[in-house]
Amino acid sequence: MKKKLLLIFMFPFIVLNFIVAQSIDKVEPLFWWCGMKNPELQLMVYGKNIGEYRPSINYPGVFLKGAISLESPNYLILYLDVANAKPGTFDITFTHDKKKITYPYELKARKESTADIHGYDSSDVLYLLMPDRFSNGDPSNDQPPMKGTYKVDRKEKGSRHGGDLLGIENHLDYFDDLGVTAIWLNPVLENDANRGSYHGYFATDLYHIDRRLGTNEDYVRLIDKAHKKGLRVVMDMIFNHIGPLHPWVLDVPAKDWFSVSPSPRGNHAKEIYYDNYASKYDSDVMKYAGFNVDVNQANPHVGKYFIQNSIWWIEYARVDAIRQDTYPYADFDMMREWNIQVMNEYPQFNIVGEIWTNYTIGTAWWQKGSKLNTGKDTELKSVMDFTLMGMASDVFHDKSPNGRLSKIYEHLCYDFVYPNINNLLRFLENHDTDRYLREMPTDLRAYKQGLAFLLTIPGTPQLYYGMELLMNGTKSAPGGDGNIRLDMPGGWAEDTQNWFVRDGRSAIQNEAWDYVHTLLKWRRGNEVISAGKMIHFMPNLGVYVYERSLNGKSVLVFLNGADKEVTLPLDRYTEVLHGKTKGTDVITKRSIALEKNLVIAAKDVLILEM
């Protein structure tokens, strides 16, 4: 008899829960916090015909400012003012005719401090990695059921390979031992797509980690453990486009939710922003074509959604910085507002935009405070030096008698156009470019020169996973992008090689690792390199010389670009020698005499502490 009474008593709740499940699929953000500087909260409610319902809220300090029904009846956008709200869970009641649905929503208490969110600066070295290709810590999450059809096959370069967050977590000691100070993960949000979208750039849920990589809780734990080791974490985001299986694509909220291009093929002509003669046609093609499903950030509801999403991940997961993909393709005004609002909540934060241009001036136009931009300031703190990446491999591998280091010298001559050179991200390769090493090297002279240069010039350096172990490849070879996104040997239980340990590597790989390790450990905390001024000299006899100095300390760098031994007269460098006649080589610890001449071996590099 008691069991029957219990069932009768529970029946109304069973029915109500059934209605909720049928009518409200989810609400985004998943929860929010009290005490944000911006008191406005947008809630995007998903559910069948929810747009026909009228919401109400009765909770102290929460004021419902408005409810927006969209063209699709299955969305409803609420705008709340939570300026005076206290932490707790309140009910949002949706009514339509005689139907009533109640949805509980939580406001959490913010942490008292954001000191654990560090940002990054020029004292850091970022290590970029692709989670699917780095290490498989949990094989049980390799192939969960998804809407899209895909397979896990390590023999296919375009398939999923099974790397995940736990695999990264298991190697935090590796990053710390190597000497990098921050890890940048290619996108980790859900990519439910045919073929699996192993790279992460076709998001289908902006509030959940892809289940093949782990869970939201796994992501938070990874960041917490990274922080405890002194490592910062950069989150990769994409506002410009989403995947074709995103709910917004399957059920379009409104006709202006996406951008429409006059041409299906993108021109990628980022110059249109500062081209006095650019046509509207070319501008629209650049902004709205060339990627998967182009989202219209100029729609104020879309813009607000993306801004909140970033703040949500920062507050929830404590990420230190954001790298924004395809930055110029998104709406300029929305991205400007995004930077303002994020930095208002987290002044120490850093955002770097992917500004892929071939010219320094074009890149500098995008940095906050640029005098080249005579219109609205972008408010974007950091930009990326693709120009250096584009020339570095050819310049340092050049085998002509006098080399081509003059190109590198000339490139740095244009650093004056950047409002803040320390917030320029410098790199030799990344996940979209040919590897710095096109093939496995037989000697490391060009390799060492490129890395020495990267790690001693002004700016913030970034390495790409495997560079420290001589990963090589080009996109033009069969397999395309897969050639530059190879698995890290040793990251899978079945691997016969393990590059994470010394015994699993070749002699030349260990030589490379030792070189990078020594440079990174020396650079860590070295303010002469991260904050010092620079003086450089036009290459002479193929040798490029520059000084970094701060507070009476100095470092001299000699790069011999010539494919021959050079006897370099030192009389032209007296202003940086400061009367000193010797220096200590950072790598070998040898004392190097600096008197009348300096003999430098072919393609050699010396980094001397004076």
Catalytic member of 354, 468, 547, 604: 354
Q: What is the mean pLDDT of the chain?
A: 95
On the question of pLDDT at 20 being above 60, the answer is no
Residue 452 and residue 430: Cα distance in Å, rounded? 17
Q: What is the pLDDT of residue 602?
A: 97
147 Cβ neighbours under 8 A, 6+ residues apart? 192, 204, 245
328 inside domain? yes
Residues 318, 239 within the same domain: yes
Q: What is the mean pLDDT of the segment spanning 483-505?
A: 98
312 inside domain? yes
Q: 277 — alpha (psi -120 to 50), left (phi > 0) or beta?
A: alpha
pLDDT band of 286, cuts 50, 70, 90: very high
Q: What is the pLDDT of residue 415?
A: 98
CATH number at residue 175: 3.20.20.80
On the question of pLDDT at 1 being above 50, the answer is no
Q: Which residue is it, tokens 């046609």?
A: 281
Instruction: Count how many domains the chain has.
Output: 4
372 with 365: CB under 8 angstroms?
A: yes
pLDDT band of 374, cuts 50, 70, 90: very high
Count Cβ neighbours within 10 Å for each residue of 157-174 and write b for 16 or more, e otherwise. bebbbbbbbbbbbbbbeb
How many other C-beta atoms are found inside a 10 Å radius of the C-beta of residue 99? 12
Span 567-584, pLDDT tens digits: 999 999 999 999 999 999
Q: What is the pLDDT of residue 22?
A: 54
3 inside domain? no
427 inside domain? yes
Coil vs helix vs strand at 207: strand
Residues 251, 360 within the same domain: yes
Q: What is the mean pLDDT of the segment spanning 10-28?
A: 58
Entry pTM: 0.95
Q: What is the mean pLDDT of the segment spanning 112-122?
A: 96
Residue 557 and residue 528: Cα distance in Å, rounded? 13
224 inside domain? yes
CATH number at residue 78: 2.60.40.10
Residues 604, 518 within the same domain: no
Residues 475, 477, 479, 484, CA torsion sign: negative
Span 21-77, pLDDT tens digits: 357 999 999 999 999 999 999 999 999 999 999 999 999 999 999 999 999 999 999
Residues 417, 565 within the same domain: no
On the question of pLDDT at 10 being above 60, the answer is no
192 with 205: CB under 8 angstroms?
A: yes
Residues 201, 84 within the same domain: no
| N residues, the chain | 610
Q: Where are the alpha helices (DSSP H) in 467-544?
A: 507-523, 527-531
Residues 88, 232 within the same domain: no
On the question of pLDDT at 17 being above 70, the answer is no
Residues 232, 321 within the same domain: yes
Q: What is the mean pLDDT of the segment spanning 323-330?
A: 98
Span 255-264, pLDDT tens digits: 999 999 999 8
24 with 45: CB under 8 angstroms?
A: yes
378 with 370: CB under 8 angstroms?
A: yes
Residues 492, 543 within the same domain: no
409 inside domain? yes
Q: What is the pLDDT of residue 196?
A: 86
Residue 409 and residue 543: Cα distance in Å, rounded? 11
Can 354 be counted among the known catalytic residues?
Answer: yes
Domain span holding position 279: 259-290
Residue % of the chain over a pLDDT of 90: 95
Residues 441, 553 within the same domain: no
What angle, rounded to 10 degrees, do the helices at 405-413 and 386-397 form?
Answer: 160
182 with 162: CB under 8 angstroms?
A: no
Residues 234, 351 within the same domain: yes
What amino acid occupies position 389?
Answer: M
Last residue of a domain, one of 483, 499, 524: 524
Catalytic member of 218, 325, 379, 429: 325
Q: What is the pLDDT of residue 488?
A: 98
Q: Is the peptide bond before 29 cis (omega within 30 degrees of 0)?
A: yes
Cross-strand pairs, 107: 32, 88
5 inside domain? no
Coil vs helix vs strand at 9: helix
Q: What is the pLDDT of residue 54?
A: 97
Q: What is the pLDDT of residue 276?
A: 95
6 inside domain? no
Residues 80, 46 within the same domain: yes
> What pairing do the DSSP bridges indicate for beta strands 350-353 and 321-324?
parallel
424 with 126: CB under 8 angstroms?
A: no
On the question of pLDDT at 516 being above 80, the answer is yes
CATH number at residue 577: 2.60.40.1180
Last residue of a domain, one of 77, 109, 141: 109
209 with 216: CB under 8 angstroms?
A: yes
Residue 445 and residue 255: Cα distance in Å, rounded? 56
Residues 170, 64 within the same domain: no
What is the DSSP annotation of 224-270?
A: HHHHHTT-EEEEEE-SSEE-TTSHHHHS-S-TTSB---SSSS----G
Span 196-222, pLDDT tens digits: 899 999 999 999 999 999 999 999 999
> What pairing do the DSSP bridges indicate for beta strands 350-353 and 75-81?
unpaired
197 Cβ neighbours under 8 A, 6+ residues apart? 148, 150, 191, 243
Q: What is the mean pLDDT of the segment spanning 98-108?
A: 96
Span 380-419, pLDDT tens digits: 999 999 999 999 999 999 999 999 999 999 999 999 999 9
* Helix H or strand E segment including 353: strand 350-353
Last residue of a domain, one of 290, 309, 336: 290
What is the DSSP annotation of 95-113?
A: EETTEEEEEEEEEEEPPS-
Residue % of the chain over a pLDDT of 70: 96
